[in-house]
Structure 1
Amino acid sequence: MARLKVTQTKGKIGTKHMHRETLRTLGLKRIGDTVVREDSPATRGMVRTVAHLVAVEEVD
């Protein structure tokens, strides 16, 4: 199964509460943090919610 590498590129200060919670759920705490998550519809939805704050790559 494919995996997604999600990196936080912008800060969460000044964003909506749900965007901050989504970043926390993904496991991102600060700018530059990177996590690798399984590619699933739930993960894709979270990434889409905070697309303006993160960079996404597909890894094998």
Structure 2
Amino acid sequence: MAQLKITLIKSAAHRLPKQRKIVKEFGLNRISSSVIKPDNAATRGVIFQISHLVSVEEIKD
């Protein structure tokens, strides 16, 4: 199953509270921090909401 590497490239400060919450729940604390999440519809939907703050790379097994 493919996975996604999500990296925070812009600060979540001064953003909508919902966007800050998403960044925090993903575990992205600082700029350049990364997490690996499964590639599914739910994850992609959440990434779409904060796409201007993160970069996404596909990791294939």
Instruction: Name structure 1 gaps, 5 residues minimum.
Output: none
Q: TM-score, normalised by structure 2?
A: 0.93
Partner of 2:26: 26
| 4+ runs deviating over 4 angstroms | none
Partner of 2:45: 45
Instruction: Name structure 2 gaps, 5 residues minimum.
Output: none
Number of equivalences: 60
RMSD: 0.6
